[in-house]
Amino acid sequence: MTAPVLAVLGASGAVGSAAARALAAGHRLRLGGRREAPLGALAESLGAEVHPLDLDDDRALDAFCAGADVVLHCAAPAFAIGDRVARAAGRARAGYVDVSGDALLHDQLGAAAGVAVLGAGVVPGLSSLLPRYVLDAARAAGVEADRLTVHTGGVEPCTPGVARDMLLSLGTGGPDGAYGEPLAAWRTDRVVPRELRSEEDAEAPFFPGRVALQPFLAAEAQRLARDTSLAELDWYNVHPGPHVRAAMRRLRGLDEERAGAELIRAADLDLAGRTPYHLMVVTALDEAGAGRTAVLRSRDSYALTGFVAALAAEAVARGRVRPGTHYACDVLDPAETLRRIRASEVSRLTELVHDGSPADSLVEEGAL
Q: Which residues of 10-27 are buried (b: 16+ CB within 10 A; e: fewer)?
A: bbbbbbbbbbbbbbbeeb
| CA 174 to mean position of chain CA atoms | 16
Per-residue pLDDT, 175: 45
Per-residue pLDDT, 250: 78
Tens digits of per-residue pLDDT, 222-246? Answer: 999 999 999 999 999 998 988 887 8
CATH architecture of 5-121+304-333: 3-Layer(aba) Sandwich (3.40)
Tens digits of per-residue pLDDT, 63-78? Answer: 999 999 999 999 876 6
CATH architecture of 126-300+335-364: 2-Layer Sandwich (3.30)
- Domain edges within the chain: 5-121+304-333, 126-300+335-364
The answer to whether the beta carbons of residues 243 and 159 sit under 8 Å apart is no
Q: How far apart are CA 69 and CA 36, in angstroms?
A: 23
Query: Residue 201: which H helix or E strand, with range?
Result: strand 199-202
Has residue 218 got a pLDDT over 50? yes
The highest-confidence range among 67-81, 186-200, 250-264, 349-363, by mean pLDDT, is: 186-200
Cα angle 10-180-125, degrees, rounded to a multiple of 5: 45
Confidence of residue 300 (pLDDT cuts 50, 70, 90): very high
Per-residue pLDDT, 171: 53
Note the residue count of the chain: 368
Query: Residue 129: which H helix or E strand, with range?
Result: helix 126-140
- Over residues 112-138, mean pLDDT: 93
Which of 304, 282, 307 has its CA nearest to residue 295?
282
pTM of the model: 0.91
Per-residue pLDDT, 107: 84
Q: How far apart are CA 219 and CA 196, in angstroms?
A: 16
Tens digits of per-residue pLDDT, 257-270? Answer: 788 888 889 989 99
